[in-house]
Amino acid sequence: MSTFVVPAQIAELRGTAPPRIRALLWVLVIIGLVTFVWLWLTDHRALWLSYLADFIFFTGVAQAAVVWSAVTRGCNGRWARPLQRMAEGMAAVLPLSVLLFIPILFAHRTIYSWWDHPVKLPWLNHWFLLGRDFGIVIFLAWLSVHYLRVSTRPDVRRDAEALTGAGSPGALRAQKTLSRLWVVLVFAFCYLYSVLGQDLNVSLYIGWYDYIYPWFFFISNWYGGCALVTLLAVMWRRRLGAREIISADVLHDAAEIKFAFAIFWAYLFWTQFMVLWYANKQDDIHILIRLSQQHPWVTLSWVALSLGFFLPFGFGLSRSYKRRAPTVAYMACLTLGAMWLQQNLMVFVSTWYQGFPPLIASALLSCGFLGAYGLCYLWAMRRVPIFPVRDPLMHEALVWQPMRH
């Protein structure tokens, strides 16, 4: 193993995108800005509720992608090493999330209908509520960026010795730091995103008490993050012509993780109803009754459940589908669409009593988020190798083919 050296053509690969992709992302940003101005002039309530839902979705899946890198690193997943940098690179968009959270701080009266009549004190004390949520977004962004910086430090320093099987002291120090940091990142995500779920979803309707929803919230974001990573794997595999590195086996394993959490997400989807039914909490189930019995919410709920569970579950039963890039990308897009719709539902079902929710306006506004986050991500991917070539387990992934059954 000490004689192994990462091939130069792999060590120098960067995550560059063709000009037409960058132009498309700028067009999406413009669409989002135009939609923002249009809603600002016509409907403040639709603007800020859509903005909140889109912010939660895009920030959540980006954060979960970084956590995906931490989880697979903590499990010593050799198979996942080719996808590590693609996943943890999403940390570069999280400082933008900090900036995009600031408008929410000033839109609190529109978002929280109870704002002028404080309740559930001290938990929903105005400054405590906004301060802790803003602090959570800042802390997780800082922690994720720190994780990315430690991971890329040997690459930034162009540590030639770390490209060999023997490794280098600097690369080994980075791996030792990451072996502690991934634990902090994973547990911080699980706990702090549970708090955000209570504050940014459940607390929109003051009469809603849901004891399972914090779990459901962070698992939904995690499930979306798994889908995002598999989609990025397919896209970079095609862009870089890296079919030997991101093999069908790698795609299969990434899709298996997503398949597993499709089942767990659906389980938590149902558990919210089950717990309140067993406890006979009639006053707490108002929101769930709207979602399951009243139109248009019941129709939209079935659409979200179909996109997030029934279709991915059906496709995921086939091993061959999980090894084909087109079907893997298709299933990932279904999941991301379901998580976007679900997050819009959870915001609007608590606050919107004027007929059909403004999902078209939210979709147009989400174009701006997609464009801005995509540009930040590509900016980061151009500056470091797209594969963690100075990671010892990446060396093993390049040399050894894992046994399959």
pLDDT of 4 > 60? The answer is: no
Q: What pLDDT is recorded for position 112?
A: 92
pLDDT tens column, 311-346: 999 988 999 999 999 999 999 999 999 999 999 999
pTM (2 d.p.): 0.93
pLDDT of 402 > 50? The answer is: no
Work out the mean pLDDT of the chain and round it to a whole number.
88
Mean pLDDT confidence for 278-286: 67
- Which of the four pLDDT bands, split at 50, 70 and 90, describes residue 169? confident
Higher confidence at residue 76 or residue 72?
72
Q: Which whole-number Å values give the CA distances from 204 to 114, 115, 304, 338, 340, in the listed order?
A: 8, 10, 21, 21, 18
| For the chain, percent of residues with pLDDT exceeding 70 | 90
pLDDT tens column, 16-47: 889 999 999 999 999 999 999 999 999 999 99
| For the chain, percent of residues with pLDDT exceeding 90 | 62
Three-state SS string over the chain comes to: CCCCECCHHHHCCECCCCHHHHHHHHHHHHHHHHHHHHHHHHCHHHHHHHHHHHHHHHHHHHHHHHHHHHHHHHCCCHHHHHHHHHHHHHHHHHHHHHHHHHHHHHCHHHHCCCCCCCCCCCCCCHHHHHHHHHHHHHHHHHHHHHHHHHHHHHHHCCCCHHHECCCCHHHHHHHHHHHHHHHHHHHHHHHHHHHHHHHHCHHHCCCCCCCCHHHHHHHHHHHHHHHHHHHHHHHHHHHHCCCCCCCHHHHHHHHHHHHHHHHHHHHHHHHHHHHHHHHCCHHHCHHHHHHHHCCCHHHHHHHHHHHHHHHHHHHHCCCCHHHCHHHHHHHHHHHHHHHHHHHHHHHHCCCCCCCCCCHHHHHHHHHHHHHHHHHHHHHHHCCCECCCCCCHHHHHHHHCCCCCC
Mean pLDDT confidence for 229-241: 94
Main-chain phi, psi angles of 336, to 5 degrees? -65, -40
Give me the residues paired with residue 5 across strands. Answer: 164
